[in-house]
Structure 1
Amino acid sequence: MVEQHEKTLVPQIRFAGFTDPWEQRKLGEVAHFINGRAYSQNELLSSGKYPVLRVGNFYTNDSWYYSNLELEDKNYAYEGDLLYTWSATFGPHIWHGNKVIYHYHIWKVQLEAALEKLFAFQLLERDKERILSDKNGSTMVHITKTGIENTSVLMPCSVEEQRRIGAFFDRLDSLITLHQRKYDKLCVLKKSMLDKMFPKGGSLYPEIRFAGFTDPWEQRKVGEVAYGFEYGLNAAASDFDGEKKYLRITDIDDQTREFRTDDLSSPDINNPIDDKYLLKEGDILFARTGASVGKTYLYKASDGKTYYAGFLIRAHVSDEADAGFIFQSTLTERYKQFVLLTSQRSGQPGINAQEYADLLLPLPSLSEQRRIGAFFDRLDSLITLHQRKLELLRNIKKSMLDKMFV
């Protein structure tokens, strides 16, 4: 029985040289959660000697308040301190910044020698949901200092093993942060370039153009350079059959507008499906109703044999225009304003096929359209690449947390 119990206290993956079972300890035995200070409104200043770190500064970069109060050393957070936000939003943070006073809804975590900081950070993050759940399994809106210090956790007896585990996940977190920053910068770059490479307001000249193009753009209805505007297949979704993919509004990624393949399905139809619902190169889909009205997707042959669902409208771009350019036009502020104004209904918001066909877009020459479409296609590929790397790294971290912790 003892041997069986010890097996349950051994992680699935370990660094070489570590074989002892992990031990169960109460957090309060190896860490002390020091309360932050509450402030009256007149104690918080717009400027002062010490910045006051609040929960919002971790998550939304809220504007800072300051204090001129001189406090005990325990009331300050320094570079490298482990902190824990315990109300409204929850979880551990390692503070990277100058000396600050931490606010009431933050604890400073003072560790005993038996618990290594980087390991403690990962442990608190991994066990967050369990720590914040009551005996009935419901999530609490806050946790008390006594509550968290009485929480039992499993940890290696060896501080060196803790150090190795903490360092491993710290490097993994650094990679995730690196790709997140690259992804965020690329998204900001794309937003900026959409703003500058497409005319604003009633202008027919963009702010930035490729060399050699000087003619004004012209206003054209989408229905003049695309045809079809057909509603999709009215069928439920079933398990993916390995061949026929079914594209619904929810399958279009909100950020990249790529076809999400993490939950593929097929149309739930026994009879042969009419090929008119099969997407082909040059097709653009428009969401026609609900909260996602206006959402668009450009079909690519690499997405495979794909049928589109009934809450989508398909338009096929003719040879007079570049499908990539038309698609990018639907990501501009001008298009967003069209959706906002046109979708207003007495009930659920919606835009019908004729309204999409009547949408006015400024169009340059076909050769300029192709240059712009190709530019954004390459940028989108980079964005998608970093998004997929992010997802891969996050999945790796989730898997390794399961396997390297008990």
Structure 2
Amino acid sequence: MAEQHEKALVPQIRFTGFTDPWEQRKLGELYQKNDERNTDGLGSERTLSVASMTFNSAGNGADDSSLPNYKRLRLGDIAFEGHTNKEFAYGRFVLNDAGNGIMSPRFTCLRPIVEQEYSFWKYFIHSEKVMRPILVNSTKSGTMMNELVVEDFLKQEILVPSLPEQRRIGAFFDRLDSLITLHQRKYDKLCVLKKSMLDKMFPKGGSLYPEIRFAGFTDPWEQRKLSSTCEQLSRTINPLETPNEEFTEYSMPAFDNNETAETVIGNSMNSLRKIVDRPCLLVNKLNVRKKRIWHVPRPEANAVCSSEFVPFSSHSSDLSFIKISLLSERITAYLESCSSGSSNSQKRVTPEIIMSSEIIAPSLAEQRRIGAFFDRLDSLITLHQRKLELLRNIKKSMLDKMFV
């Protein structure tokens, strides 16, 4: 029993050199209620948004005459934000690491009374795993959000590591957040660049010339129907006739799962599938607003696709370029206008409608340059998106395993 109790006082993962159990402390030994007011006249530009703990330079709309009654928030203070959601069942605490500021008096604020490593407490006090058992016993329902009962909160107990361990944990999560922010910024910039290039590298407003072109291309673009430059893949197979055979299936769920084709056996597919035996585009017929358009440059062996896709190839056009064209808002609006069905989510277009779509295209050589440019851009966007997902998953796991 003593060994089990000892294990309960330490986190699952720790930095080397830290072996002591975390110390059980009453929150009243660590914090006190903060009712300090804005008596030294900080302006509205020092208003802190409690949700994000960042300065709102425009203030929050409050009249200047009310600012002296605002609460003064100093570095390390924590504010209780009582809105509940799936992540925070009873509300949450947000630590002020932005600097001295003010906040609306309707929020409850607490101030540390012992030395703390704020980079640790920023994550620790915000953790649903750590705080949920405490907030269960120290909050009550309010008119618009949960309210903190400070007297009850300060009676609750919490396990706290030593200051040196706080510093190591805080530095780790700060570094992780810096990496997440870095990749988020790169991802956002690439998305903005892509949007700008899509606007400038394709003609608009009836013109046959784009605003930006690769050197050496000057000829006007031409309007063409998809059917004049692409051919549908029409061969089908009944997988149930070979129930134990493995297939690579391009399906709607597989598309939604980061465009990752699935390996399935024949008896798991209960209807005909189209054979995918060459480089092609798969255009989904259902709910075209979702823009499920899948470029398959090198099909896997024994590949098939769902009948919800219209597969087509081309010998005279670049499929990367065609995909970009079909993803345009103009084509999506056209396909939507031709869809039919009982509800928006179940509306479909026919293969004939898809093949009747009109695109504006340059020479094959220019198509290839444009297609390769956007393929590279999409690869970079996907790279940073996956790094973001990985880092967020690492952070989520470590927040669970490094706190008691």
TM above 0.5, yes or no, is yes
Give the aligned residue type for 2:350.
Answer: N
Is 1:189–2:189 an aligned residue pair? no
Deviates more, 1:322-331 or 1:103-112: 103-112
- Which residues of structure 2 form unaligned runs of 5+? 38-42, 86-90
- Once residues 223 and 340 of structure 1 are traced to their aligned partners in structure 2, the CA distance between those partners, rounded to angstroms, is 19
Q: 1:198 aligns with which of 193, 198, 202?
A: 202
Q: 2:71 aligns with which of 65, 70, 75?
A: 75
Q: Name the counterpart of 1:9.
A: 9
Q: Name the counterpart of 1:65.
A: 60
1:2-401 correspondence runs (5 A): 2-25=2-25, 27=27, 29-32=29-32, 49-50=44-45, 52-54=47-49, 65-66=60-61, 67-69=63-65, 71=67, 75-77=71-73, 82-87=78-83, 91-93=92-94, 100-103=101-104, 106-113=107-114, 115-127=116-128, 131=132, 142-146=145-149, 149=153, 154-228=158-232, 244-253=247-256, 258-260=258-260, 264=262, 266=264, 269=267, 276-278=274-276, 280-281=278-279, 283-290=280-287, 293-301=290-298, 306-316=303-313, 318-343=314-339, 345=341, 347=343, 348-401=346-399
Deviates more, 1:11-20 or 1:71-80: 71-80
Compared CA separation, residues 364 and 402, structure 1 to 2 (3 A): same
Q: Name the counterpart of 1:42.
A: none
Give the aligned residue type for 1:384.
Answer: T
- Once residues 106 and 400 of structure 2 are traced to their aligned partners in structure 1, the CA distance between those partners, rounded to angstroms, is 29
Aligned to 1:301, what secondary structure does the other structure show? coil
Deviates more, 1:11-20 or 1:123-132: 123-132
Aligned to 2:231, what secondary structure does the other structure show? strand
Aligned to 2:11, what secondary structure does the other structure show? coil
Quick check: 2:51–2:94 contact (8 Å CA) kept in 1?
no
Deviates more, 1:225-234 or 1:354-363: 225-234
Q: Name the counterpart of 1:405.
A: 403
- Once residues 99 and 383 of structure 1 are traced to their aligned partners in structure 2, the CA distance between those partners, rounded to angstroms, is 37
Quick check: 1:52–1:65 contact (8 Å CA) kept in 2?
yes
The alignment's TM-score, normalised by the length of structure 2, stands at 0.78
- Once residues 82 and 176 of structure 1 are traced to their aligned partners in structure 2, the CA distance between those partners, rounded to angstroms, is 24
- Once residues 131 and 242 of structure 1 are traced to their aligned partners in structure 2, the CA distance between those partners, rounded to angstroms, is 50
- Once residues 213 and 308 of structure 1 are traced to their aligned partners in structure 2, the CA distance between those partners, rounded to angstroms, is 37
Quick check: 2:233–2:274 contact (8 Å CA) kept in 1?
no
Deviation readout 1:285-305 (Å, 9 max, x if unpaired):
122113754321111438776
Aligned to 1:307, what secondary structure does the other structure show? strand
Of the two structures, which has the highest relative contact order with CA contacts closer than 8 Å and spacing of 6 or more? 1
In percent, how many aligned pairs have the same letter?
41
Deviates more, 1:124-133 or 1:190-199: 124-133
Quick check: 2:235–2:274 contact (8 Å CA) kept in 1?
no
Aligned to 2:125, what secondary structure does the other structure show? helix
Compared CA separation, residues 80 and 6, structure 1 to 2 (3 A): closer
Quick check: 2:79–2:93 contact (8 Å CA) kept in 1?
yes
The alignment's TM-score, normalised by the length of structure 1, stands at 0.77
Aligned to 2:189, what secondary structure does the other structure show? helix
Deviation at 1:29, TM superposition (A): 4.5
Aligned to 1:87, what secondary structure does the other structure show? coil
Taking only aligned residues, the RMSD between alpha carbons, in angstroms, comes to 4.1
Compared CA separation, residues 57 and 172, structure 1 to 2 (3 A): closer
Quick check: 1:183–1:387 contact (8 Å CA) kept in 2?
yes
Compared CA separation, residues 340 and 271, structure 1 to 2 (3 A): closer
Give the aligned residue type for 1:335.
Answer: I
- Once residues 33 and 313 of structure 1 are traced to their aligned partners in structure 2, the CA distance between those partners, rounded to angstroms, is 64
Aligned to 1:399, what secondary structure does the other structure show? helix
Deviation at 1:56, TM superposition (A): 7.0
- Once residues 33 and 52 of structure 2 are traced to their aligned partners in structure 1, the CA distance between those partners, rounded to angstroms, is 20
- Which residues of structure 1 form unaligned runs of 5+? 38-47
- Once residues 302 and 97 of structure 2 are traced to their aligned partners in structure 1, the CA distance between those partners, rounded to angstroms, is 49
Compared CA separation, residues 197 and 167, structure 1 to 2 (3 A): same
Deviation at 1:155, TM superposition (A): 3.2
Q: Name the counterpart of 1:43.
A: none
Q: Number of matched residues?
A: 381
Quick check: 1:31–1:149 contact (8 Å CA) kept in 2?
no
Compared CA separation, residues 25 and 92, structure 1 to 2 (3 A): same
Q: Which has the larger radius of gyration?
A: 2
Give the aligned residue type for 1:86.
Answer: G
- Once residues 111 and 302 of structure 1 are traced to their aligned partners in structure 2, the CA distance between those partners, rounded to angstroms, is 61
Deviation at 1:119, TM superposition (A): 1.5
Compared CA separation, residues 270 and 157, structure 1 to 2 (3 A): closer
Give the aligned residue type for 1:299.
Answer: V
